[in-house]
Amino acid sequence: MSNFETIIYEKKDSLAYVTLNRPHALNAYNIKMRDELYTVLGAIKDDPEVRVGIFQGAGGRAFCAGADLAEFLTAPSPVVARQARWERDIWGLFLNITKPLIAALHGYVLGSGIEIALCCDIRLASEDAQFGLPEPGLGIIPAAGGSQTLPRVIGGAKALEILLSGRWLGAEEARNLKLVNRLVPRKELMAEAERLAQKIAQFDPVAVSRAKQAIIRGLDLNLREGLELEARLVASLL
Ligand code: COA
């Protein structure tokens, strides 16, 4: 699990650390990263020792500056480049992990960068974080779940404004919109993410997983269905 090119995957006690590791390209998401992330997500999902995952970006400048534009430019068209990303249902896998995932965000969080963050459950950001969805300017739309996950987090009107206008958000606006849970000084970002992860990891993993499912799956249900889901999850714990 250690000989990846674009990702660093580490396990410490019951925490898994995923570092997007292409700092020379602001951790842009390429096909190699897609494949490696797929492997790593499978490991987080299936490894009983892992209780919480933490995602971060390598280097001082970015969590992830979106899809790798160099790959886009060598593909026959942005649409073809995007199609390659559908060959694996990485976002389906990401969103189906029932263990808590924390994103520690700094610098540029663009395109797939926001979308990866939105596949996580709790987002912490440093004050230098900047968020944007440049896809429509490139003739494409978000395809890593962002068109569905963003409005579920910040509401449809704001998601539309951000996506359609291409306007970037600073950290404070992102916090005010609840795109991120909390702002943390840059040098304390990972320590804070770790503290939170350790706290969660102390709890019974089955209860934690059911609690996550109750909230995440419940968001797509009406109240009656949501209460039924909760009852089933409670029963499964007894
Ligand atoms: N894909 C591939 N390489 C990228 C990249 C991306 N999405 N974003 C940045 N890089 C590379 C740059 O090409 C540059 O490489 P180089 O040093 O070999 O020239 C390096 O990362 C640093 O980026 P640079 O543009 O020099 O930094 P900057 O501070 O001037 O600008 C950004 C930072 C994020 C504003 C700018 O890089 C940018 O607009 N990136 C593209 C964002 C985007 O549209 N993503 C696609 C979303 S679908």
Question: What is the pLDDT at residue 205?
Answer: 97
Most informative mutation of 20, 30, 69, 128 for ligand 1 (most atoms within 8 A of CB): 69
By the 8 A CB rule, do 51 and 208 touch? yes
**66 alpha carbon to ligand 1 midpoint, in Å?**
9
DSSP state at residue 64: E
Alpha carbon distance 178, 197 (integer Å): 20
Question: What is the pLDDT at residue 81?
Answer: 56
Question: What is the pLDDT at residue 83?
Answer: 60
- Tell me how crowded residue 223 is: count the other CB atoms within 10 A of its CB: 8
**157 alpha carbon to ligand 1 midpoint, in Å?**
28
Kindly tell me the number of DSSP H helices and DSSP E strands found in the chain. Answer: 11, 10
Active site residue 188: no
DSSP 169-229: EEHHHHHHTTSSSEE--GGGHHHHHHHHHHHHHTS-HHHHHHHHHHHHHHTTS-HHHHHHH
Quick check: CB of 132 below 6 Å from ligand 1? no
Write out pLDDT tens, residues 128-137: 999 999 999 9
DSSP 100-139: -EEEEE-BEEETHHHHHHHHSSEEEE-TT-EEE--GGGGT
Q: Which of 115, 161, 225, 228 is catalytic?
A: 115
For residue 57, report the phi and psi dihedrals to the nearest 5 degrees.
-110, 145
Closest by Cα among 105, 23, 4, 120 to 56 = 105
Quick check: CB of 1 below 6 Å from ligand 1? no
Per-residue pLDDT of the chain (238 residues), as tens digits, is 668 999 999 999 999 999 999 999 999 999 999 999 999 999 999 999 999 999 999 999 999 999 999 987 676 665 665 565 556 789 999 999 999 999 999 999 999 999 999 999 999 999 999 999 999 999 999 999 999 999 999 999 999 999 999 999 999 999 999 999 999 999 999 999 999 999 999 999 999 999 999 999 999 999 999 999 999 999 999 8
Question: What is the pLDDT at residue 175?
Answer: 98
Q: Which of 5, 49, 135, 230 is catalytic?
A: 135
Quick check: CB of 110 below 6 Å from ligand 1? yes
**130 alpha carbon to ligand 1 midpoint, in Å?**
13
Query: Which residue minimizes the CA distance to atom 21 of ligand 1?
Result: 25
Query: Which residue minimizes the CA distance to atom 20 of ligand 1?
Result: 25
Ligand 1 atom with least separation from CA of 68: 1
Identity of the residue numbered 187: K
Alpha carbon distance 199, 196 (integer Å): 5
Quick check: CB of 71 below 6 Å from ligand 1? no
Taking the chain, what is the end-to-end CA distance rounded to the nearest angstrom?
36
